[in-house]
Amino acid sequence: MKTSLRSFLALTLLCSYSHASSLAEVTREYQAADRELNAQYQKARKLLPEYTFSEIQKTQREWLSHKLAEEKRLNGKIPQEELLERMTMLTHQRANYLRIRSSVKPNPKNKWDGTYEDGFGGTMAIFTQDDGSLYFEIFVVRGPTAHTGQVQGKATTNQDAARFTDKGTLEDKKDITWLDFRKGYQSSTMEVSGTNTTYYHGARAYFGGTYYRTGPFAPIIDGECEH
């Protein structure tokens, strides 16, 4: 599977915690991740509108509850070093999500084009082709086990919605995959949902979710762009 340097670095980041050599080291890494999370939270408080930040506050409480529940579930079942590594990964992931929410770049022309991130290991790039269809790429790294997935292709648009289907394109594949895209206000967000997508990703990976526009279109999967 070919991926760009950016995708490789994303995978490396999520996998790197397994190389910590001591409890003291992983403790320092966890503390650093916690400081970064607090910094990104304060940045979001400063930059985001009040109604948007109130949503951040709500999801932050939900995330903390999830993190504490996960820590309680794993405590005593795995070595302390591994537990801290997983908590560090979750904390880095949340800090990255807050960074993305504070860095959303709407498209004033309300076009589809751009690079989008969901803050949970998913990156998507979209480009409008001459015939009006969309060329898209999605690359994801999900969860503590870093399950990956990637898909690229053309989607047909219908006003603020678009759909990709692989019907008739793969001889060895019986199930038809759909990916549905719905554009948000000024293309600042993109809702993605999928049907029968497991052919393209690992067991715990997924493509669906809310993606936030963070910049112009830039390929994320090497050697595949057809625009």
The whole-angstrom separation of Cα 150 and Cα 137 is 7
pLDDT for the residue numbered 2: 44
pLDDT for the residue numbered 19: 47
The whole-angstrom separation of Cα 126 and Cα 114 is 5
Count the Cβ atoms, other than its own, within 10 Å of residue 196. 14
The whole-angstrom separation of Cα 142 and Cα 140 is 6
pLDDT tens, position by position, 126-150 = 999 999 999 999 999 887 677 899 9
DSSP state letter for 82: H
pLDDT for the residue numbered 223: 52
The whole-angstrom separation of Cα 212 and Cα 193 is 15
The whole-angstrom separation of Cα 129 and Cα 141 is 27
The whole-angstrom separation of Cα 6 and Cα 137 is 13
Q: Nearest 5 degrees, angle CA 199-CA 202-CA 204? A: 125
Q: Are 101 and 119 in contact (CB under 8 A)?
A: yes
Parts of the chain with a pLDDT under 50: 1-20, 224-227
pLDDT for the residue numbered 161: 97
Amino acid at 12: T
Q: Are 123 and 65 in contact (CB under 8 A)?
A: no
pLDDT for the residue numbered 204: 87
Q: Say whether pTM exceeds 0.85.
A: no
pLDDT for the residue numbered 7: 46
Token pair 């504070």 is found at: 102
